[in-house]
Amino acid sequence: MNVKYGVFALVVVLSMVLGASAPLALAAEPAPALQLPGGLTVSQTYLDVLSYWFKQTSPQDWETKLSWALNPSGTNGAPSVHVILTGVPANAWWIDAYRLELNGVWTNSGSGWSFHVVGQAPNPVHGNLMLQGNLPDAYVLRVCDQSGAVLAGGLKLLVVNRTAGDAVTFDVPGLPVPTAEQIAGLKM
């Protein structure tokens, strides 16, 4: 008889635990994806990072620039942007570039998105950053010395758009610093 009640009690306890944990699992799900004109799907994280970028770089007309960026008019341009970085410290050895995917996940493909600056800095540093479609791409840059210590005031946020082949120049010390919330999922 005790075994029968023990099994029954175990089933009751398990069903209570599973029933109580279901709302927690629902709360942990990511925010729903957002649809842009043209049927593109982006995450709220992606939109938040772009909004932050434009607020920092164009405070007077950030909403207009964000609207233009999210409604690209054409599909012309190369699949990457040639970037020129100024203000890179002379003792820098490399710059890692982490891209924010449209789904809100930070990625790094290794040397494909990194800048090898030995021999270039303190002169302008050149490199290419890949684009995903026609929307702007957000990158976090990490300038490192030979030991791997981070230089240039820490991580920097950079947003690039598709261009007609022209190089885009950015001053690294003047780039916005990403917020802790924005880079919470960044694995270095």
What pLDDT does 188 receive? 73
C-alpha–C-alpha distance, residues 128 and 6, integer Å? 66
| Per-residue pLDDT tens digits for 111-152 | 456 788 888 888 899 988 888 778 899 999 999 999 989 998
Residue 187 lies in a domain: no
Could you tell me what percent of the chain has a pLDDT over 70?
Answer: 74
What region, left, alpha or beta, does residue 138 occupy, with left being phi > 0 and alpha being psi -120 to 50 degrees?
Answer: beta
Q: What predicted TM-score, i.e. pTM, was given to this entire model?
A: 0.78
Q: Are residues 12 and 42 in the same domain?
A: no
Q: Are residues 90 and 15 in the same domain?
A: no
Residue 91 lies in a domain: yes
Number of domains in the chain: 2
Q: Are residues 75 and 16 in the same domain?
A: no
Residue 129 lies in a domain: yes
**Tokens in use for 180?**
């802790």
Q: Are residues 15 and 62 in the same domain?
A: no
Q: Are residues 16 and 84 in the same domain?
A: no
Residue 179 lies in a domain: no
Judge whether 152 and 87 are in contact, CB under 8 Å: yes
Q: Are residues 50 and 137 in the same domain?
A: yes
Q: Are residues 9 and 77 in the same domain?
A: no
